[in-house]
Chain A
Amino acid sequence: MGMTISEKILAKHAGKDIVKPGDLLEVDVDIVLSNDITAPIAISEFRKIGIDHVFDKDKVVMVADHYVPGKDVKSAEQAKFMHEFAREYGIKHYYDVGRGGIEHALLPEEGLVKPGDLIIGADSHTCTYGGLGAFSTGMGSTDIAAAMAMGCIWMKVPPSMKFIFEGTLNRWVSGKDLILFTIGQIGVDGALYKAMEFAGSVIEAMSVDQRLTIANMAIEAGGKNGIMKANKQVLDYVGSRTGTEGIVYESDEDAKYEREFSFDVSDMEPQVAFPHLPSNIRPVSQARDIVIDQVVIGSCTNGRLEDLRTAAEVLKGRNTAENVRLIVIPATQEVYRKAMDEGLFDIFLDANAAISTPTCGPCLGGHMGVMAAGERAVATTNRNFVGRMGHPKSEVYLANPAVAAASAVLGRIGSPDELD
Chain B
Amino acid sequence: MFVGKAWKYGRDVNTDDIISAKYLVSWDAFELGKNCMEALDPDFIKNVREGDMVVAEENFGCGSSREHAPLALKGAGVSCVIAKSFARIFYRNAINIGLPVLESPEAVEGISTGDELNVDPETGEIKNITTGKTFHASPYPEFMQRLMNAGGLIEYVKTRVRS
Contacts and interface: CB of A to CB of B under 8 A. Distances in A.
B63 A189 contact: no
Interface stretch (A41-49, A289-297, A320-328): A41-49
Contact of B21 (A122, A138, A141, A366): A366
Contacts of B25: 67, 72, 74-75, 77-78
B154 A51 contact: no
A365 B80 CA distance: 28
Nearest to B21: A364
A38 interface: yes
B16 A49 contact: no
B1 interface: no
A293 to B, nearest CB: 19
Interface string A34-65: 00011011001100111100000000000000
Given A37-B66, A38-B65, A140 B92 contact: yes
A354 interface: no
Contact of A124 (B40, B89, B143): B89
B157 interface: yes
A199 interface: no
Contact of A154 (B65, B143, B154): B143
A205 interface: no
B20 A387 contact: yes
B87 interface: yes
B62 A188 contact: yes
B58 to A, nearest CB: 6
A188 B12 contact: yes
A229 to B, nearest CB: 24
B12 to A, nearest CB: 6
Interface in B15-36: 16-17, 20-22, 24-27
A395 to B, nearest CB: 13
B4 to A, nearest CB: 25
Contact of A38 (B66, B92, B156): B66
B16 A188 contact: no
Contacts, number: 128
A189 B87 contact: yes
Interface in A336-367: 364-366
B99 to A, nearest CB: 12
Interface in B121-163: 141-143, 152-154, 156-158, 160-161
Interface string B73-115: 0000000000001011100110011000000000000000000
B16 A386 contact: yes
A383 B14 CA distance: 10
B138 to A, nearest CB: 14
A192 B158 contact: no
Given A48-B154, A385-B14, A388-B16, A143 B96 contact: yes
Nearest to A148: B157
Contact of B88 (A77, A122, A193): A193
B21 A277 contact: no
Interface in A144-172: 145-146, 149-150, 154, 156
Contacts of A143: 92-93, 96, 153
A114 interface: no
Contacts of B39: 386-387, 392
Contact of A189 (B20, B58, B67, B142): B58
B63 A385 contact: yes
Interface centre among B85, B87, B89, B143 (most CB of A within 10 A): B89
Contacts of B160: 150
Contacts of A277: 12
Contacts of B26: 74
A121 B64 CA distance: 12
A307 interface: no
Interface in B39-65: 39-40, 58-59, 62-65
25 contacts: A37-B24, A41-B67, A45-B154, A51-B161, A77-B25, A124-B63, A124-B89, A126-B65, A142-B67, A142-B96, A143-B92, A143-B93, A143-B96, A156-B141, A189-B58, A192-B59, A219-B63, A222-B59, A222-B87, A364-B16, A365-B21, A366-B22, A385-B17, A385-B63, A387-B20
Given A37-B66, A74-B25, A189-B85, 15 more contacts: A24-B141, A40-B27, A41-B68, A72-B25, A74-B26, A122-B67, A124-B64, A124-B65, A126-B65, A139-B89, A140-B65, A146-B154, A150-B157, A188-B62, A222-B88
Interface of B: 12, 14, 16-17, 20-22, 24-27, 38-40, 58-59, 62-68, 85, 87-89, 92-93, 96-97, 141-143, 152-154, 156-158, 160-161
Q: What are the nearest 5 A-B pairs in CB distance?
A: A74-B25, A140-B93, A142-B96, A189-B59, A364-B21
